[in-house]
Amino acid sequence: MSFLQSILLGIVQGTTEFLPISSSAHLRLAKYFLGLDHLSGLIYFDLVCHMGTLLALLIFLKEEVFHVLKSVRTIALYFLALLPLIPAYFFLKPLLLKASHPSFLGYSLMTTSMLLFVASQKKTFSPSKKWQHVLCIGVMQTMALIPGISRSGSTITTARLCGWSWKDGALFSFLLAIPTICGGEILESLKYHETGHVSGICYLGGFMSSFVLGLFSVRFIFFIYETGKVRPFAWYCLGAGLVTWRLLHG
């Protein structure tokens, strides 16, 4: 991997992480077009890029994070939303590995598109954050273990279907992402060993570019959710899914 390639992958990660279009799918596609899809030792590089966007998210939501930590009840709600990930990650691993095959990437993107289309038809009725809603959001988050299904897209659309506003759903989803990403980073870093395809300067390039673009991306998506105009992302995922399906099955 060259330094320029690391910058480009960091830009892809930072731009797509908070948009409901699946950053994992776009990273895979970027590696494909950059000729890096044959390298198996890039897991640590991906983790470093995720740390860049995580830092951007922590900076953007620092006040909300402190507010959550002050309330035991709120902490309990986020813990409840995290619970479904445990059995999904450990007990459904063979199924998830099969579904993670690149040949399913187009279908996963189209699934994200369908979720966004359905949620865009739902009206908001300002419900309380009931534990049933939170658990449903947590269950849907497990779908994002499959590359191509957007974590933010699946959780925010579920919140929307429960009657939450786009902005409230986004805030809950991104706060939930903090422990989710941290836990995933730890588990994945323990599983894999780097094979020498990435230099230190490339790690730095990927981290910095994902961090800087993440700061802009998270601000942009909250503006979009405030307006409720998410239909373009649904059309984008549909088009990207069709192109990806054709590309990988051509």
Q: What is the pLDDT of residues 78-90, one digit of tens each?
A: 999 999 988 887 7
Q: Is 46 or 186 the better-scoring residue by pLDDT?
A: 46
CB 51, CB 185: distance < 8 Å:
yes
- Alpha carbon 152 to chain centroid, angstroms: 5
Segment 190-194 shows an average pLDDT of 60
Q: What distance in Å separates the CA atoms of residue 162 and residue 184, rounded to the nearest whole number?
A: 27
* Cα 70 from Cα 95, distance rounded (Å): 38
- The conformation of residue 71, written as its DSSP 8-state character, comes to -
Specify the pLDDT at position 34.
Answer: 87
d(CA 138, CA 129) in angstroms, rounded, equals 13
Look at residue 250 in the predicted model and tell me its pLDDT: 59
pLDDT at 195 over 60: no
**If DSSP codes are grouped into helix, strand and coil, which group holds residue 27?**
helix
Kindly give, in sequence order, each residue whose CB lies less than 8 Å from that of residue 88, ignoring residues fewer than 6 positions away. 96, 142, 145
Q: Given a cut of 90, is residue 187 above it in pLDDT?
A: no
Over residues 4-15, the mean pLDDT reads 95
Most confident segment among 28-42, 92-106, 200-214: 200-214
- What confidence tens digit (pLDDT) does each residue in 210-247 have? 999 999 999 999 999 999 889 999 999 999 999 999 88
Please tell me the predicted confidence (pLDDT) of residue 66: 94
What confidence score (pLDDT) does residue 79 get?
Answer: 93
Question: Could you read off the pLDDT of 114-166 as tens digits, one per residue?
Answer: 999 999 887 665 556 688 899 999 999 988 888 889 999 999 999 998 889 89
Per-residue pLDDT tens digits for 165-184? 899 999 999 999 999 888 87
Instruction: Answer whether 150's CB lies under 8 Å from 144's CB.
Output: yes
CB atoms within 10 A of CB 44: 18
* Residue 99 pLDDT class (50, 70, 90 cuts): low
**Helix-strand-coil split of the chain, %, nearest 5:** 75, 0, 25
Contact assessment for residue 118 and residue 157, using Cβ atoms and an 8 Å cutoff = yes
Q: Mean pLDDT score of the chain, rounded to an integer? A: 87
* pLDDT the model gives residue 20: 94
Which amino acid does the sequence have at 122?
Answer: K
Q: How many CA atoms lie within 13 A of 204 on its CB side?
A: 3
pLDDT band at 38 (very low <50, low <70, confident <90, very high): low
Mean pLDDT for 58-69 is 94
What is the distance between the alpha carbons of residues 14 and 57, in angstroms, rounded to a whole number?
Answer: 11
